[in-house]
Amino acid sequence: MPANPDDLPDDERATALRLGALGRPTAADRDLDAPPPDLWDHISDEAFAPPGEMNAPADAPNGADAPGAGVVDLSERRNRRQMVGAKVGLAAAAAALVLIAGVAAVLVSRSSGTDTEVVAATDLDLLAGGGSGSAELVQTDDGLELVVDVSDLQPQADSDFFELWMLTPDASAMQTMGTFEATSGRVEVPVPASVDADEFPVVDISEELDDGDSTHSGKSILRGTLS
Amino acid sequence: MTCAVAARPHTPEHRVTGRRLDIRYAAVVDQSPTLLEESVVAGFAAGDEAALKDLYDATSRLVFSYCRRSLGTDGAADATQEVYVAAWRSRDRYRPEKGSLTGWLMGIARFKVIDALRASGRRPEVADHAEPEDQGRVAEGIEATAQRMLVADALDQLGERARQMVELAFYDDLTHTEISERTGVPLGTVKSDIRRGLDRLRRHLEGFDASES
């Protein structure tokens, strides 16, 4: 039982007592491993009918090496939403692991007082809506980190959250870095080792609707190029 | 404004494109991280198959590791599969106002583990591995392990400062004032961190309680 339940409102006291009863999480509680890589295929086969539907688009050649391939108009992408979602799905688990590992590395490096160095920075220009911001690419012992400060973000229209992206200079390809809701504050995200910051130097903040479409809404609020 | 965007090919070196990955995976300073549920739950409830994949990506390590710990390596994958299939098929029974989706999922995992243990003739009550004695008192059993793993995962996603505040308050039994003095963090910040963290943990535990076998 915590020594200070009186510090808490009634609705939180029960949670505090329950935490005390469960006990402090052990190393075993945090010893997490990824499931077998083919498990999702088994789950999707069983959960979604007909079996195999989700796999077909991912197995199709995507023409990635062809010049100009992959540049798709936003409206067309929306119509292809399910296919895009399926294709993206295959890589998602691995990507999530990369980010989790990155966060852990960042936290460890901070707690041990590791020095950091700003390797690139930019102010973010207002494209639409409102707000201001800046971005820095920071080199830590554990890799690159993107640090973005924003103030008073205002969307152009009704939206549910903001999303941070890294883009190629011609916006032909992009990398989501995460979503957030706060209109002011600092967001720090590890840049996965698989992402070449030189190739994706444009930092973009968009407004997004929670509509299940994981692609860029096309509504950018702030943008700047790291240099 | 509409700009042309494109998906990147899925090569091993560029794995993520256009996917909405919740900021819960990232460190957010001085802001409350967004719960996974907020970006996934609507799609999940609406039967969006991509939302189940997002949920799986965000939670499968936790669910699988719990099943593995409780059932052993052999049965863990099958049980994990049952958890997500069951969650998908009963998605219309999930109520966001009653608790978090992750908690609800771990509640289902608890039932699947119990089912698997019973099917194999084992007694769920004694199935947990022994805990190291120097870790202090730890509640044992299938139910407690699921909840504590859920709590541990949620704590790790609070952000370093808030996690530290919550742990000092509820595992080290320090008062808010003592935490403030020990860490140098202003008392108001200590209180708000703990309140926010506790609220997050409460949502997860309520989700756990809301699941049905």
Question: What would the pLDDT profile of A197-227 be if each residue is shown by its tens digit?
Answer: 888 899 999 998 877 777 788 888 999 999 9
Q: Which CATH architecture has domain A117-225?
A: Sandwich (2.60)
CA distance A110 to A138: 13
Q: Given CB atoms, is B190 within the 8 Å cutoff of chain A?
A: no
Q: Cβ(A2)–Cβ(B125) under 8 Å?
A: no
Q: Going from the N-terminus, what domains does chain B have, and what CATH number goes with each?
A: 35-210 (1.10.10.10)
CA B169 to chain centre: 21
**Per-residue pLDDT reduced to its tens digit, A2-57:** 445 555 667 678 888 899 889 899 999 999 999 999 999 999 999 986 543 333 33
Share of chain B above pLDDT 90, in %: 52
- What residues of B are in contact with residue A33 (Cβ under 8 Å)? 61, 64-65, 68
Contact B26 A99 (CB under 8 A): yes
CA distance A2 to A17: 7
As to burial, measured by CB atoms within 10 angstroms (0-12 exposed, 13-18 middle, 19+ buried), residue A156 is middle
Average of per-residue pLDDT values in chain B: 78
- The beta-carbon neighbor of B175 closest among A7, A94, A98 is A7
pLDDT at A66: 32
Phi, psi of A175 (to 5 degrees): -135, 120
Q: What is the 3-state secondary structure (H, E, C) of chain A?
A: CCCCHHHCCHHHHHHHHHHHHHCCCCCHHHCCCCCCCCHHHHHHHHHCCCCCCCHHHHHCCCCCCCCCCCEECHHHHHHCHHHHHHHHHHHHHHHHHHHHHHHHHHHHHHHCCCCCEEEEEEEEEECCCEEEEEEEEEEECCEEEEEEEEEEEECCCCCCEEEEEEECCCCCCEEEEEEECCCCEEEEEECCCCCCCCCCCEEEEEEECCCCCCCCCCCEEEEEECC
Mean pLDDT of B152-178: 91
A84 or B35, higher pLDDT: B35
Q: What is the 3-state secondary structure (H, E, C) of chain B?
A: CCCCEECCCCECCECCCCCCCEHHHCEEECCCCCCHHHHHHHHHHCCCHHHHHHHHHHHHHHHHHHHHHHHCHHHHHHHHHHHHHHHHHCHHHCCHHHCCHHHHHHHHHHHHHHHHHHHCCCCHHHCCCCCCHHHCCCCCCHHHHHHHHHHHHHHHCCCHHHHHHHHHHHCCCCCHHHHHHHHCCCHHHHHHHHHHHHHHHHHHHHHHHHCCC
Mean pLDDT of A167-181: 80
**Per-residue pLDDT reduced to its tens digit, A138-162:** 888 778 888 888 888 988 888 888 8
Contact B171 A190 (CB under 8 A): no
Average of per-residue pLDDT values in chain A: 71
Q: Please state whether the predicted TM-score (pTM) of the whole model is above 0.90.
A: no
Q: Which of A16-20, A64-68, A179-183 shows the lowest per-residue confidence on average (mean pLDDT)?
A: A64-68
Mean pLDDT of A182-207: 83
**Per-residue pLDDT reduced to its tens digit, B83-113:** 999 999 999 899 888 999 999 999 999 999 9
pLDDT at A222: 93
Best mutation target among B53, B59, B63 (most A Cβ atoms within 10 Å) is: B53
Q: Given CB atoms, is B208 within the 8 Å cutoff of chain A?
A: no
- What residues of B are in contact with residue A187 (Cβ under 8 Å)? 23, 26, 28-29, 31
- What residues of B are in contact with residue A93 (Cβ under 8 Å)? 56-57, 60
Per the document, the length of chain B is 213
CA distance B160 to B24: 12
Q: Given CB atoms, is B137 within the 8 Å cutoff of chain A?
A: yes
- What residues of A are in contact with residue B156 (Cβ under 8 Å)? 30
Residue of B nearest to A70 (CA): B6
Give this complex's ipTM. 0.75
- What residues of B are in contact with residue A96 (Cβ under 8 Å)? 21, 25, 57-58
Confidence of residue A124 (pLDDT cuts 50, 70, 90): very high
Q: Which of A155-169, A204-218, B52-66, B117-131 shows the lowest per-residue confidence on average (mean pLDDT)?
A: B117-131
Q: Given CB atoms, is A90 within the 8 Å cutoff of chain B?
A: yes
Per the DSSP assignment, residues forming a β-bridge with B11 are B14
Q: Given CB atoms, is A193 within the 8 Å cutoff of chain B?
A: no
- The beta-carbon neighbor of B15 closest among A3, A22, A95 is A95
pLDDT at B155: 93
- What residues of A are in contact with residue B52 (Cβ under 8 Å)? 43-44, 47
Share of chain B above pLDDT 70, in %: 73
pLDDT at A170: 78
Mean pLDDT of B150-165: 91
Q: Which of A17-21, A164-168, A175-179, B28-32 shows the lowest per-residue confidence on average (mean pLDDT)?
A: B28-32
A193 or B40, higher pLDDT: B40
